[in-house]
A = this chain, B = another copy of it.
Amino acid sequence: MLNNKLGKHTVIFNNKPEILGTGSVVGVKEGEGPLGKRFDVVLEDDTYNEKTWEKAEIKMLSEAILLSMKKAGKAEKEIDAIISGDLLNQLMSASFTARDFDVPFIGIYGACSTMTESMILGSVLVDGGYAENVVSAASSHFCTSERQFRNPLEHGNQRPPAAQWTATASGSVVIGRTNKPNIVLTCATLGKVVDPGITDAHQMGAAMAPAALDTIHTHLSDTNRDPGYYDLILTGDLGHIGKDILLDMSKNRGLDLEKVHMDCGVLLYDKDQDTHSGGSGCGCSASVFAGHIYREILEGKLKKVLLVSTGALLSTTSTLQGDSIPGIAHAIAIEVEGN
C-alpha cells in the first residue's frame, strides 16, 4: 500500500497543503450576474484595453495570478511553479502569461476541468515536498473561444437552447504550507475519460455529466464517504441541463446528490442573462471557486467542499470528423482545518 493513495483513483495529501490566497478576474457579463460582487476584479470592457481578445485573456490570467500571490503574501521568487491552462489552441493564454513570470511553467489541458487538474498537481508538488508554493490557475474568454471553436462574434449566429456561455473569467490559487493550516486540500480523485457518445458540440452538459458522476462516485467510494460529508459538491460547468442529467443519473446509481450539489455554470449567470444552459469554460469553475466559494469558506459558510471541474475533450477537428465528445472530471476536496 502506498502512503498517499486511497482506493482506486484517490490521492491523499497528508502534509496539509493549503490555499494561501486566491485571485479572480471576470468580464462585464459575469460581473452583472448574481456573483458579481464576489470577484476581485470585474472588467469594464472585455478587451481590458488590449488590441485583441487573446491579449485580454492573457492579461486577465496574469492579473488573477498576481492577485493570488499578493493575497497569499508571496513574492514571485517564492513561487516554484505556475500550473495553468486554458481553452485556446496550444494553451496560448497560459503560455504567454507564463512568459511574464520568472517561474517554472507546467502547461496542462483538461478543457474546463483544467482548474482542478491544476490544483491536484499543485497539491501533489507541495504535499510531497517538491515545491514550497505553487500557483494553480486557469482562464477562458467568451470572444476568444467563439472565434476559435464556433463562429466569430461578427457572424451573429443563433445559439441553441442547450448551448452554454464560455465565461470571460480567470481564477488562480496559491498553494503552500504554514504552521497553522486553515483551508486545506485534503485529497483528490483523478478522473478517467468517459464518452457517452454525444456528437452535438452544443450538448456539453450531457457529454460531461457521466464523467462527473464517475469521478464523484469513485471519490465517495475510495474515501468511504457519503455525499452528505460535504457541505457542497460543486461541479464545474455542467450547466442547467447537465446538472439535471447528473442528478438523474446519480439517483439511478443510488447516490443522492440533490441536497449538496451545485454547478458553477448554473451559479455564474442569472436565467435572464440569456446564456441558455449556463456558463462554461476553464475560467468558469476557476473564477467561481477562487472568487465566490473561497469567500464562502472564509466567511465560515462552507467547511467541506468537493470541487469537481468538468471538461469536454473535443476539438473542432474531432467534431468535423464525426467523433463523439470525451468527457472528464477531476475532483479535489477543500476542508477547513478542525472541522
Contacts and interface: CB of A to CB of B under 8 A. Distances in A.
B128 A4 contact: yes
A88 B124 contact: no
Contact of A109 (B90, B191, B318): B90
A193 B80 contact: no
A318 B92 contact: yes
Contact of A192 (B9, B88, B89, B104): B104
Contact of A3 (B9, B129, B323): B129
Interface string A81-123: 1000101111110011011011111111111000001000100
Interface stretch (A151-159, A250-258, A261-269, A308-316): A308-316
Contacts of A316: 89
A321 interface: yes
Interface string A296-326: 0000000000000000011111100101001
Contacts of A96: 313, 318, 323, 326
B2 A102 contact: no
Nearest to A321: B52
Contacts of A321: 52, 54-55
A16 to B, nearest CB: 14
Copies, count:
2
Contact of A106 (B108, B318, B323): B108
Contact of A129 (B4, B103, B125, B148): B4
B90 A106 contact: no
Contacts of A315: 88-92, 95
Given A5-B130, A318-B96, A326-B98, A109 B111 contact: no
Contacts of A328: 95, 105, 107
Nearest to A11: B130
11 contacts: A2-B130, A52-B321, A54-B318, A88-B315, A89-B316, A90-B111, A92-B317, A102-B192, A104-B191, A107-B117, A124-B130
Given A4-B130, A5-B130, 13 more contacts: A2-B129, A5-B129, A11-B131, A52-B321, A87-B90, A88-B317, A90-B318, A98-B313, A106-B121, A106-B190, A121-B121, A124-B125, A128-B130
